[in-house]
Amino acid sequence: MSGVTIRDARPDDLDTIIAFIRALADYERLAHEAKADRDMLARHLFGPRPMAEVLIADHEGAAVGFALFFHNFSTFEGRPGIYLEDLFVRPEARGLGAGRALLARLATLAIERDCARLEWSVLDWNAPAIAFYRAIGGRAMDEWTVQRLDGEALVALSSSANPRR
């Protein structure tokens, strides 16, 4: 893995994390959906109750990639899992092994934390990423489809709930 090191992100990495998120959003043609800002990320990544964690891949003193992840829980397994929300390596750094190193570190964390699985989603048009995931042993969960509730639909459902007593 040719000089690539993986480390936990620190609060002073916030600008780098934001840059990675924006670059990923551009790559995925979703820049219009990228709303995260420095204050949000500081609170949710490094605040009193962190909701996610970030790994940074460094090569020759420069951050070249990141992985943002959090824990989920499998009721069937009775154990936690790790959900990889974002994985991104700068185009000029691809081929150095940074993506594989980030995933290997996540696999190690999953084992150390007694997780049953490591999961992620990939856009169906992203053939290079899909090929990479297959090469490391990833498999598609074709029988499952992702569902999402956000925006006005999320607010509408919330407002229909009975108030807590």
Spans of all domains in the chain? 4-159
Q: What is the mean pLDDT of residues 24-39?
A: 95
Tokens of 40: 């949000």
| Residue 21 pLDDT > 70 | yes
Domain spanning 4-159: CATH superfamily: Gcn5-related N-acetyltransferase (GNAT) (3.40.630.30)
Angle at the Cα of 85 from the Cα atoms of 124 and 32, rounded to 5 degrees: 70
What is residue 162's predicted lDDT score, i.e. its pLDDT?
Answer: 76
Closest listed residue to residue 77, CA positions, set 106, 114, 49: 114
> Going by DSSP bridges, is the β-strand pair 4-8/118-120 parallel, antiparallel, or unpaired?
unpaired
Is the pTM for the entire model greater than 0.85?
Answer: yes
Catalytic residue among 20, 69, 88, 133: 133
Beta strand spans in 9-110 (E): 53-59, 62-74, 79-89
| Residue 30 pLDDT > 90 | yes
Residues 6+ apart with CB under 8 A from 84: 67, 68, 69, 103, 106, 118, 119, 120
| Residue 11 pLDDT > 70 | yes
Residue 137's identity, in one-letter code, is G
What is residue 1's predicted lDDT score, i.e. its pLDDT?
Answer: 46
| Residue 77 CA: distances (Å) to CA of 80, 81, 108, 150 | 8, 9, 19, 28
Mean of pLDDT over the chain: 95
Tens-digit pLDDT profile for residues 48-94:
999 999 999 999 999 999 999 999 999 999 999 999 999 999 999 99
Measured CA to CA, the distance from residue 89 to residue 96 in angstroms comes to 10
Measured CA to CA, the distance from residue 33 to residue 47 in angstroms comes to 24
What is residue 106's predicted lDDT score, i.e. its pLDDT?
Answer: 97
Gyration radius (Cα) of the chain, Å: 17
Tens-digit pLDDT profile for residues 82-130:
999 999 999 999 999 999 999 999 999 999 999 999 999 999 999 999 9
**Does an H or E element contain 40, and which?**
helix 38-46
Task: Kindly report the number of other CB atoms within 10 A of residue 57's CB atom.
Answer: 29
What is residue 165's predicted lDDT score, i.e. its pLDDT?
Answer: 52
Q: Is 133 a catalytic residue?
A: yes
Tokens of 105: 């570190």
